[in-house]
Structure 1
Amino acid sequence: MSNIKIFCDFDGTITNSDNIIAIMKQFAPPEWDAIKEDVLAQRVSIQEGVGKMFSLLPSDLKEEIISFILSHAKIREGFSEFVQFTKDHNLPLYIVSGGIDFFVHPLLGDQVKKEHIYCNESDFSKERIVIQWPHTCDDQCDNDCGCCKPTLIRTLAEKEDFTIMIGDSITDLQAAKMVDAVIARDFLIEKCEELNIPYKPFETFYDVRKHVEKLVEVTT
């Protein structure tokens, strides 16, 4: 089998909705919405925008926020079966997420190896929530990504690997530009069409599995 490596977004991809947006809608003051629009329009970087949004939230809301998101977030249909498929076929699956550790890890549970999960981290020790960025851009990326998916792909994939990106939003766009195959939904589809990036659409991970099975066939 060809050396396929799969990189998968979390918020809005593995989960049915974007967890950061859900948290902001529930807990943040109104000014968060203008920050979100600036991020989507690429007027401010993802790292700056997400950092600003969380700085609107008091740290003493920690338990309330965690309880809210763990009870409201839903995993997209077919994900656990897709994970098993990747294991059965020895296809490395990496979660590359602009999400935050306090909800990414508990929602994934033990389905994906911890060392294959890359996301941002949180600090609740100060008055306001501080987001930390352990996976920032390398010298080949100047997008101030926060969790830099292109950097992670360059680190984790070899030149001979066939790389697949699964995603849904602006945070996946730079990765979509560099991989061999893109599986997309929602806003990422709009950007792929705008920039003439080939992609396959999905709504569930049963769709994703079908696309990956075909890629396995053509790359074997």
Structure 2
Amino acid sequence: MRQPVIFCDFDGTVTEKDNIIAIMKEFGSDGWDEIKEAVLDRSISIREGVGKMFSLLPVSKKEEIIQFAVQNARIRPGFQEFLDFAREEGIPVYIVSGGIDFFLEPIIEPFGPITGIYCNGSDFTGETIKIEWPNSCDDQCSNDCGCCKPSIMRRIDQRDAYKIVIGDSVTDLEAAKQADFVLARDYLKDKCEEWAIAHRPFETFYDCIEALKTETGVRG
């Protein structure tokens, strides 16, 4: 068996709900919902949409947004046990997220170990929140992803790696195409079925542990 490497989404995967949507519902001004729909129907890129949504939020709300995100984020059951299992089996776990550093990092800080975290950045020097893109698309991707998951996978890929993607949404589609195996829920599960991508559905990270035992042959 090749060395398993896990690339795990954050919003709607590690957390039960999408934190960006929750933040926008709480703090966003008129127009954010139309931007969200444009991203989902792929009429604008993820990068453009996320940038536009956060530009609706004043920087003065930073601490309030962080407090809201930490208090309202519900971690999917079994996440710490999943990380413990991966550590015991020597499987690297990378969090690859279209979320933003200023709220993602405080939410995930109590959990570990995590091999690496890749997400979008933030700039609070202006009047409204500006999103930064340290993980933009490489020359093999033209989707203007923002945080480009397949580009990250290529950057840290090992030749003998058995790439496992865990996710739920539109931001995970391109990563799923590049994976050897996918653990999927919601929108991503539907797309894996449509495109005949090898996958298993999951609801909790306990499901993911069992799937890893089956797919990788680890003893557990």
With structure 2 as the length reference, what TM-score do the two structures score?
Answer: 0.95
Q: Does 1:161 align with 2:161?
A: yes
Letter of the aligned partner of 1:175 in structure 2?
A: A
> Per the alignment, in what secondary structure is the counterpart of residue 96 of structure 1?
strand
Question: Contact between 2:180 and 2:198, CA under 8 Å: does it hold in 1?
Answer: no
1:113 deviates by 5.0
1:141 deviates by 0.4
- CA distance in 2: counterparts of 1:141 and 1:195, whole angstroms: 19
1:55 deviates by 0.5
1:110 deviates by 4.9
- CA distance in 1: counterparts of 2:118 and 2:153, whole angstroms: 11
Render the CA deviation track for 1:20-51: whole Å, top value 9, x for unaligned.
Answer: 00000011123111111111111111101000
1:111 deviates by 2.8
With structure 1 as the length reference, what TM-score do the two structures score?
Answer: 0.95
Q: Does 1:183 align with 2:183?
A: yes
> Per the alignment, in what secondary structure is the counterpart of residue 120 of structure 2?
strand
Match of 1:39 in 2: 39
1:156 deviates by 1.0
Match of 1:211 in 2: 211
> Per the alignment, in what secondary structure is the counterpart of residue 14 of structure 1?
coil
Write the mapping of 1:91-110 to structure 2, written as runs, cut at 5 A. Answer: 91-110=91-110
1:103 deviates by 1.6
Instruction: For structure 2, list consecutive stretches of 5 or more residues without a partner in the other structure.
Output: none
Letter of the aligned partner of 1:205 in structure 2?
A: F
Letter of the aligned partner of 2:29 in structure 1?
A: P
The sequence identity of aligned pairs, in percent, is 56
1:144 deviates by 0.6
Match of 1:86 in 2: 86
Letter of the aligned partner of 1:204 in structure 2?
A: T
Match of 2:119 in 1: 119
Return structure 1 stretches of 4+ with deviation > 4 angstroms: none
- CA distance in 2: counterparts of 1:143 and 1:100, whole angstroms: 19
> Per the alignment, in what secondary structure is the counterpart of residue 138 of structure 1?
coil
Question: Contact between 2:65 and 2:103, CA under 8 Å: does it hold in 1?
Answer: no
- CA distance in 2: counterparts of 1:192 and 1:107, whole angstroms: 29
- CA distance in 1: counterparts of 2:114 and 2:163, whole angstroms: 20
> Per the alignment, in what secondary structure is the counterpart of residue 5 of structure 1?
strand
Match of 1:171 in 2: 171
Write the mapping of 1:121-140 to structure 2, written as runs, cut at 5 A. Answer: 121-140=121-140
1:104 deviates by 1.4
Taking only aligned residues, the RMSD between alpha carbons, in angstroms, comes to 1.4
Instruction: For structure 1, list consecutive stretches of 5 or more residues without a partner in the other structure.
Output: none
Letter of the aligned partner of 1:54 in structure 2?
A: F
